[in-house]
Structure 1
Amino acid sequence: MPVPEEGPRWEDPELTRLARRLRDAHRLVAPLPAEHRKRLIRHLLAITDLAKRDTALAARRLDAFLADFHGTPDAR
């Protein structure tokens, strides 16, 4: 018996792009000193959680996060 389709499709290009960008953002944050890294990771986790409900809003928040991140002196 087939399983009813629920939730997002795994081959959704928008979700795949967002997931890759979130992964890359985590990689950018990982080498930072612990005191900065913890705060930024919490922010990324909030964006990840938001993506479960509103992909477009999560993508905009990630854009803002990355713009702020690249503008900080601690960013590499």
Structure 2
Amino acid sequence: MTEPEARDRDPWTGPEWDDPALTRLAEQLRAAHKLVAPLPRETRRRLIRQLLAITDLAKRDPVLAARRLDSFLADFRGAPEAR
């Protein structure tokens, strides 16, 4: 496809499929990143690495990734440094 043809197409609006479980997982991951963002640098870096590992897992096993994210969030909300 030539460049002018690519510009004439509608902009991408997301995937053409709708999987509510994957959408929920993506929204939860986004929310988890927002929770981690205001933390001190070293703590934030460690937690972001964990979230990226969960994101990578979601590509292969979204059910397990959702369980791990739930566990991450439960630990995060219970940790004194997250308050």
Higher helix fraction (1 or 2): 2
Unaligned runs of 5+ in 2: 1-14
Select the structure with the greater relative contact order (CA < 8 A; seq sep ≥ 6): 1
Q: Distance in 1 between matches of 2:66 and 2:47?
A: 16
Q: State the match for 1:30 in structure 2.
A: 37
Q: 2:67 aligns with which of 29, 35, 60?
A: 60
Give the total of aligned pairs: 69
Larger radius of gyration: 2
What is the alpha-carbon root mean square deviation over aligned residues? 1.4
Unaligned runs of 5+ in 1: 1-7
Structure 1 consecutive aligned stretches of length 4 or more whose deviation exceeds 3 Å:
none
| Cα shift at 1:9 | 6.5
* TM-score normalized with structure 1 length: 0.86
Percent identity, aligned pairs only, is 75
| Cα shift at 1:10 | 3.4
- Secondary structure of the 1:18 match is helix
* TM-score normalized with structure 2 length: 0.79
Q: State the match for 1:19 in structure 2.
A: 26
